[in-house]
Chains A and B, each alone.
Chain A
Amino acid sequence: MNQFFSLKRFTLLVLKHWADNKKRYGLSVLAFIGLLITWFVFTMLTGFDNIPMGKAVQQITFFLSLFAVGTFYASQYFRDLGSRSKGINFLLVPASAFEKLLCSLLYSVVLFFIVFTTAFYLIDVLMVAIANSLPGTEKLAGKPNVINVFKVIILRFNSDSTINFLLFFFSVQSAFLLGSVYFEKYSFIKTIICGFVAGFILFCMMYFFYEHLLPNGGFHKGFLTSFRVHVDGVNDHLVQVPRWIGEVFRFLIMYGIAPFLWIVTYFRLKEKQV
């Protein structure tokens, strides 16, 4: 049998993970539903938006809770490795590191997103229906409607912002998954701190690059791919990297970060010691 990937072993691993965690997952979904209902009721009672269950409330609730719950869940996935007894149990299960990683991605990325979105809509549809049945709603300027989370405009200047935002979420979530293998304790907090430190270092590097290495001017129609060198306003010239480099760069930023972090997680998992 293939020692890197076997569908039979992978299926066994997925079923084993479900058997080990079904109670915890079931209770977590119920707790999330309870919190969501409480929050929506709170927004309706306090008039958080102009209309009960308005678009803004639904949008903010979906994306904020997606980030909060998704990153927390990812940071907990490999928490067993922080405990000697659980770590031994996890590492000695006869399956490859690749199968174990793939199982973690199936649960923390794919199934999490499906279950989260389903649970959100289940409550959202219900709460919008309740909001519409409230006395006086028909007199309001806008009628509460269920939002399409894949089509809402988050950044007004970018029509693809929702898709980019979701891709950004998967990258952030992958960083938390890596953090759960890397840090034996407090992985959620430590990953947040590392994220801020990495972000700050990146910002400083960009600032240094922009202020001290590049000539006088500024980025023009495309961040990092097109630079306008200021001379006198008339003889300014434009420095552009070839279009394909810009496209590759954009592609890597959008789709490359999460898989890169998964690869790092794989090697970290393979080298894990207990």
Chain B
Amino acid sequence: MISIKNLSFAYKKKPVFDGLNLQFKAGHVYGLLGKNGTGKSSLLRNIAGLLYPQNGSITVNGFTPFERLPVFLEDVFMVPEEFYLPDISVPDFIKHYAPFYPRFNSEKFRNYIAVFEIPADSTLQNMSYGQKKKVLISFALATNARILLMDEPTNGLDIMSKSQFRKILAEALDEEQCIIISTHQVKDLENLIDRITIIDEGKILFDENVETITKKLSFRFAYDAEDVAAAIYSESSLIGNVIVAPNIDGDEGKLDLELLYKAIITNSEKITKLFQQ
């Protein structure tokens, strides 16, 4: 669905990627994690055709994104972190934007904004940032575009809206779609993401399925000093130490994305070795 081969990209003199290789397949929700400025948003914009790579290639649904052919754009929707919506009513927005997307489903859109508790006839400009974002997310999902790119989608959403977002996204995903979510709010999306990709200094530091991760790693409390010493990563809390350790029992536990991220960033060598076994 999305194939990135040997991608190099730089902003003037600041290199972002150098020889990046990645594959994104249909039917998955990918979580794109990384420090600030590591190129998560740039990768999404390269996939959407908003940026042109200096070297290497990107193929999305068989198209070269930067050609920005209408048939390609009909099947890719991006929810950027900084977004713009015109100063019109929601019905007018649907009337004038939806016809560009041949698979747009108006009923789905109405359902999504109802779940988000957005008045159907309100004007976009009178809405708060969070409400506008909810309209944009609803629109993105209703387009039925096969590629959905979301850059920090839960930023600006209140607690209730975050759980509504998770519910809607889980319902909306179908086998033909590929959703890539770049985020720092890992807790918001923990149960949605089924593959984690971590970018660091323009390289892929980690790229694994959630199933494989929970088979190989366990995230738990440890009260024994030996357990803590043997852990890949540990941090103290009020009720003991929380650790990331190799999963010896083989029982699949619950994934803690935040801990996983910290473990990879601080001890990537050990993690890489463990996953190569």
Write the residues of chain A forming the contact surface with B, with a CB cutoff of 8 angstroms.
1, 3, 6, 9, 12, 15-16, 19-20, 23, 80, 83-89, 91-97, 99, 270-271, 273-274
The reply to whether B83 and A9 form a contact with Cβ atoms under 8 Å apart is: no
Chain B's closest residue to A80 (CB) is B84
Residues of B close to A84: CB separation below 8 A: 80, 82
Chain A's closest residue to B79 (CB) is A88
Chain B's closest residue to A24 (CB) is B87
The reply to whether A19 and B96 form a contact with Cβ atoms under 8 Å apart is: yes
The reply to whether A19 and B95 form a contact with Cβ atoms under 8 Å apart is: yes
Knowing A12-B99, A19-B96 are in contact, say whether A274-B51 is a contact too (CB < 8 A).
Answer: yes
B70-115: which residues lie under 8 A (CB-CB) from chain A?
A: 70-71, 73-74, 76-78, 80, 82-88, 92, 95-97, 99-101
From DSSP, what is the main secondary structure of chain A's interface residues? Answer: helix
- Can you list 27 pairs linking A and B with CB atoms under 8 Å apart? A3-B70, A9-B100, A12-B100, A16-B96, A19-B96, A83-B84, A85-B80, A85-B82, A85-B84, A87-B50, A88-B48, A89-B83, A89-B85, A91-B50, A92-B48, A92-B50, A92-B73, A92-B77, A93-B73, A93-B97, A93-B100, A94-B71, A95-B70, A95-B73, A96-B69, A273-B51, A274-B50
Q: How far is the CB of A219 from chain B (nearest CB, A)?
A: 47
A274 to B51 alpha-carbon distance, docked (Å): 6
The reply to whether B80 and A95 form a contact with Cβ atoms under 8 Å apart is: no
Knowing A84-B82, A88-B50, A92-B50 are in contact, say whether A23-B87 is a contact too (CB < 8 A).
Answer: yes
Residues of B close to A6: CB separation below 8 A: 70
B71 contact from A1, A19, A271, Cβ within 8 A? A1
**Residue among B70, B74, B82, B97 facing the most chain A CB atoms (10 A cut-off):** B70
The reply to whether B70 and A88 form a contact with Cβ atoms under 8 Å apart is: no
A23 to B87 alpha-carbon distance, docked (Å): 9
Residues of B close to A9: CB separation below 8 A: 70, 100
- Closest 7 pairs between A and B when the two form their complex, measured CB to CB: A94-B73, A85-B84, A20-B86, A85-B82, A19-B96, A16-B96, A94-B74
B101 contact from A3, A94, A99, A270, Cβ within 8 A? A94
Residues of A close to B69: CB separation below 8 A: 3, 96
A20 to B125 alpha-carbon distance, docked (Å): 12
The reply to whether A15 and B96 form a contact with Cβ atoms under 8 Å apart is: yes
Q: Does B45 sit within 8 A of A, measured CB to CB?
A: yes
The reply to whether B100 and A88 form a contact with Cβ atoms under 8 Å apart is: no
Chain A's closest residue to B76 (CB) is A92
Q: How far is the CB of A24 from chain B (nearest CB, A)?
A: 8
The reply to whether B96 and A92 form a contact with Cβ atoms under 8 Å apart is: no
Chain B's closest residue to A86 (CB) is B84
A23 to B124 alpha-carbon distance, docked (Å): 14
Between A and B, how many residue pairs show CB distances below 8 Å? 80
Residues of B close to A86: CB separation below 8 A: 84
Residues of A close to B99: CB separation below 8 A: 12
Chain A's closest residue to B50 (CB) is A274
In addition to A16-B97, A88-B50, A96-B68, 8 A-B residue pairs with Cβ atoms within 8 Å of each other are A12-B99, A19-B96, A20-B88, A20-B96, A84-B80, A92-B49, A96-B69, A97-B68
Chain A's closest residue to B101 (CB) is A94
A97 to B66 alpha-carbon distance, docked (Å): 12
Chain B's closest residue to A12 (CB) is B99
Residues of B close to A93: CB separation below 8 A: 73, 97, 100
A89 to B97 alpha-carbon distance, docked (Å): 11
A274 to B74 alpha-carbon distance, docked (Å): 19
Q: How far is the CB of B3 from chain A (nearest CB, A)?
A: 20
Q: How far is the CB of A25 from chain B (nearest CB, A)?
A: 12
Q: How far is the CB of B93 from chain A (nearest CB, A)?
A: 8
Residues of B close to A99: CB separation below 8 A: 70
Knowing A12-B100, A19-B95 are in contact, say whether A89-B70 is a contact too (CB < 8 A).
Answer: no
Q: How far is the CB of A80 from chain B (nearest CB, A)?
A: 8
Q: How far is the CB of A78 from chain B (nearest CB, A)?
A: 14
B45 contact from A15, A16, A80, A274, Cβ within 8 A? A274
Fill in one digit per residue for B29-52: 1 if any A CB lies within 8 Å of its CB, else 0: 000000000000000010011111
**Residue among A15, A87, A91, A270 facing the most chain B CB atoms (10 A cut-off):** A91
Residues of A close to B84: CB separation below 8 A: 80, 83, 85-86, 88-89
A84 to B99 alpha-carbon distance, docked (Å): 24
Residues of A close to B87: CB separation below 8 A: 20, 23
Chain B's closest residue to A21 (CB) is B86
Residues of A close to B70: CB separation below 8 A: 1, 3, 6, 9, 94-96, 99
Chain A's closest residue to B69 (CB) is A3
**Residue among A20, A94, A270 facing the most chain B CB atoms (10 A cut-off):** A94
Chain B's closest residue to A2 (CB) is B70
Q: How far is the CB of A181 from chain B (nearest CB, A)?
A: 15
B86 contact from A12, A19, A87, A95, Cβ within 8 A? A19
**Residue among B45, B68, B76 facing the most chain A CB atoms (10 A cut-off):** B68
Chain B's closest residue to A96 (CB) is B70
The reply to whether B101 and A88 form a contact with Cβ atoms under 8 Å apart is: no
